[in-house]
């Protein structure tokens, strides 16, 4: 059987499971979950086979279920994403068997879970604009029902509506982009559209603007809404009243869809440099704000929600610098560990209520008891180690894998962020209470090397798998680049700022300067702003009330109620 027809079977399995679960729910009772779990296992096994076929070099294939639309693709991106979705869905299915046992609507939950799995598989396999737009919208509707599984919870319904409302905002630009592409190229097929725009990317305009720039901006906006980028992010941390398995599936698979969407339209973005710059800026702002808000939360699930926001910002930022395959690796890695964290959050909370289980070691003493370091280490030695070691590890790891890596501006940007992160890690180690600092630093550096080398090797392997044509990869990096002179100026300026900041920090640590030395009023205002989450909760609440009230008045006026 051709791989493309196996993709059809992959999508059909969860759909068949949803139908059987619904029909047999009254007869089988709680045992109806076994059907859904069995279908999830079969779907995962089939996804493994499809990924293996793509890895051994099967050519890209497609099957059209309804003529010019309903096209399902077999290609490296679709098989890899299908493998991830099927794997996470299987874990969520198994976890939900016991977790949802005492909840109302048990069978309905598994029906929705199967439908969501099918919708996600169709999304990553869609080979035409109609299928992509329809399933993109359907995922938002299914997520609304999953988040509102507990129909008695007012807060769950409220925040599920926030999610639906935000998703609808993101659906409209994608629909408009599809219409513009069809009007320009006369086909719904993504493969045919990409083939035509590659020949002459500047052949069409919209209102005097380049078509690809307009469409690229619209698709990016749709990705921003789905991946909780800043301003469109509020729905994500407030959907924690839904079932934990739904939170795990959402944070591990659904919210990552923005990174997938941008990768699916990679041939388009290879000709839209200005849009990539805006994507980078939006991702950067989201990564910073999401990380800051994560640190200010006292609820573990809400903290995980803002952590996801920050990670999605970094994923979008990677797309903005042209590292498309790295963004795919990021969304896969984040999905796996964040799904695990959500599924384990309840157990951690329950155990902590009885015993925090935290040993009184050096790390605990430093973070919780805030005791000072018993022995002051040489300031200049530690400063030099903090700044030099991470950059050496990052530079050597990437140089070994690809010697031309440093000729790409996007790679330099990502290395810069990796350097800052590594410097922060070693600085935190410097501040710990430890009699054997050399051993502690050595372990940290060794761990950092393992992570960087693994990250580098896997990301470059994915680059060769998803985008085997090196010319195309270079074209994306070139589109994401800026003028070389200004790029060098920015790199030097930011490096000087970071180095100066680290030395000021070391000086403050050395001479015991605390935060009290800074203007207290500034810190108090900043903390108030962060603790209120930049007031976006109030803004979204007001907008939600306005929309609901308007809809109510419209229903009364039209005598629908």
Question: Could you give the CA distance from residue 35 to residue 527 in angstroms, rounded to a whole number?
Answer: 50
Cα separation values, 48 from 79, 83, 87, 127, Å: 8, 6, 9, 21
The phi, psi pair for 73, rounded to 5°, reads -100, 145
In contact, 259 and 314? CB cutoff 8 Å = no
C-alpha dist (Å) from residue 522 to 168, 289, 360, 512: 38, 18, 34, 21
Tokens 């050395």 correspond to what residue? 510
What's the Rg (C-alpha) of the chain? Answer: 25
Q: Is the dihedral of CA 118, 122, 124, 130 positive or negative?
A: negative
Burial of 337-370, coded b for 16+ CB within 10 Å and e otherwise, reads ebbebbbebeeeeeeeeeeeeeeeebbeebeeee
- What whole-number distance in Å separates Cα of residue 273 and Cα of residue 443? 41
Element spanning 228, H or E: none
Q: Which of 291, 325, 516 is nearest to 420 (CA)?
A: 291
Q: Write out 381-446 in H/E/C secondary structure.
A: HHHHHHHHHHHHHHHHHHHHHCCCHHHCHHHHHHHHHHHHHHHHHHHHHHCCCCCCHHHHHHHHHH
Profile the chain (561 residues) by mean pLDDT over runs of 10 residues: 81 95 88 93 95 88 82 92 94 91 87 95 94 94 88 77 86 95 92 90 86 94 92 82 83 87 93 89 88 78 83 88 86 84 70 58 49 51 62 59 56 62 61 59 64 69 85 83 70 72 66 55 75 79 81 81 55
CA distance 441 to 423: 12
| pLDDT of amino acid 305 | 83
Q: What does the DSSP 8-state code read for residue 373?
A: P
Tokens 């680059």 -> residue: 463
- Crossing angle between the packed helical segments 437-466 and 379-401, to the nearest 10 degrees: 20
Distance, in Å, from the CA atom of 268 to the CA atom of 455, rounded to the nearest integer, reads 27
Nearest to residue 431, comparing CAs of 370, 389, 518?
A: 370
- Give the residue ranges of DSSP H helices in 100-153: 106-125, 129-147
pLDDT score, position 363: 47
Helix pair angle (154-185, 190-199), 10° resolution = 50
**Greatest Cα-to-Cα distance within the chain, rounded to the nearest angstrom:** 78
Residue 325 tokens read as: 């395959």
> Looking at residue 95, what is its pLDDT?
92
Cα gap 43→124, rounded to integer Å: 15
Taking the C-alpha atoms of 395, 396, 401 and 402 in order, what is their torsion angle to the nearest 10 degrees?
50
254 secondary structure, DSSP code: I
Q: How far is the C-alpha of 296 from the C-alpha of 305, rounded, in Å?
A: 12
Neighbour tally for 124: CB within 10 Å: 27
Which contiguous run of DSSP H or E holds residue 270?
A: none
Burial status of residue 561 (CB atoms within 10 A of its CB: 0-12, 13-18, 19 or more): exposed
Other CB atoms within a 10 A radius of the CB of residue 47 amount to 26
**Tokens found for residue 352:** 């902590």
Overall pTM surpassing 0.95 (yes/no): no
DSSP 232: S
Q: What DSSP assignment string belongs to 506-546? A: HHHHHTT--GGGS-HHHHHHHHHHHHTGGGHHHHHHHHHHH
Cα 329 from chain centre:
10
- On whether the CB atoms of residues 324 and 265 are closer than 8 A, the answer is no
Question: Contact, 254 vs 235, CB < 8 A?
Answer: no
């Amino acid at each position: 059987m051709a791989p493309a027809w196996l993709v059809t079977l992959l999508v059909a399995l969860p759909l068949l499971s949803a139908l059987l679960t619904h029909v047999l729910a009254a007869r089988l009772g709680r045992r109806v979950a076994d059907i859904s779990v069995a279908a999830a296992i079969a779907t995962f096994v089939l996804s493994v086979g499809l990924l293996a076929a793509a890895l051994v070099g099967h050519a890209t294939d497609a099957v059209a279920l309804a003529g010019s639309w309903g096209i399902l693709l077999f290609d490296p991106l679709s098989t890899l994403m299908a493998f991830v979705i099927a794997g996470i869905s299987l874990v969520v299915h198994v976890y939900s068997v016991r977790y949802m046992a005492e909840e109302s609507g048990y069978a309905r939950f598994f029906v929705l879970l199967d439908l969501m799995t099918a919708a996600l598989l169709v999304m990553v396999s869609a080979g035409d604009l109609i299928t992509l737009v329809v399933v993109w919208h359907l995922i938002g509707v299914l997520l609304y029902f999953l988040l509102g599984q507990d129909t008695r919870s007012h807060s769950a319904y409220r925040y599920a509506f926030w999610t639906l409302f935000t998703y609808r905002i993101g659906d409209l630009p994608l629909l408009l982009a599809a219409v513009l592409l069809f009007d320009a190229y006369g086909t719904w097929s993504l493969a045919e559209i990409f083939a035509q725009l590659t020949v002459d990317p500047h052949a069409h305009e919209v209102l005097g603007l380049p078509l690809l720039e307009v469409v690229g901006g619209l698709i990016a906006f749709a990705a921003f809404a789905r991946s909780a980028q800043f301003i469109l992010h509020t729905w994500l941390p407030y959907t924690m009243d839904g079932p934990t398995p739904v939170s795990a599936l959402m944070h591990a698979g659904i919210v990552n869809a923005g990174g997938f969407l941008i990768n699916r339209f990679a041939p388009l973005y290879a000709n839209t440099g200005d849009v990539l710059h805006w994507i980078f800026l939006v991702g950067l702002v989201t990564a910073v704000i999401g990380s800051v808000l994560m640190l200010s939360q006292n609820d573990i699930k809400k903290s995980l929600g803002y952590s996801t926001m920050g990670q999605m910002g970094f994923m979008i930022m990677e797309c903005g610098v042209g590292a498309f395959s790295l963004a795919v690796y990021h969304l896969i890695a984040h999905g796996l560990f964040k799904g695990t964290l959500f599924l384990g959050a309840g157990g951690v909370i329950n155990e902590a209520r009885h015993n925090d289980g935290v040993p009184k070691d050096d790390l605990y003493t430093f973070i919780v008891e805030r005791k000072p370091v018993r022995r002051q280490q040489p300031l200049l030695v530690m400063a030099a180690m903090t700044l030099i070691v991470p950059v050496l590890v990052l530079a050597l790891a990437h140089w070994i894998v690809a010697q031309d890596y440093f000729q790409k501006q996007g790679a330099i940007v990502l290395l810069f962020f990796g350097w800052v992160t590594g410097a922060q890690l070693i600085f935190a180690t410097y501040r710990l209470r430890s009699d054997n600092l050399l051993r502690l630093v050595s372990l940290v550096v060794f761990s950092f090397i393992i992570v960087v080398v693994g990250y580098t090797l896997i990301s470059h392997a994915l680059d060769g798998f998803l985008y085997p044509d090196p010319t195309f990869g270079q074209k994306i990096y070139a589109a994401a680049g800026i003028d070389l002179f200004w790029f060098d100026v920015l790199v030097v300026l930011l490096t000087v700022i970071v180095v100066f900041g680290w030395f000021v920090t070391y000086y403050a640590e050395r001479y015991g300067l605390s935060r009290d030395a800074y203007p207290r009023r500034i810190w108090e205002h900043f903390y108030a702003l962060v603790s209120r989450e930049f007031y976006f909760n109030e803004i979204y609440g007001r907008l939600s009330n306005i929309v609901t009230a308007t809809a109510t008045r419209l229903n009364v006026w039209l005598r629908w109620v």
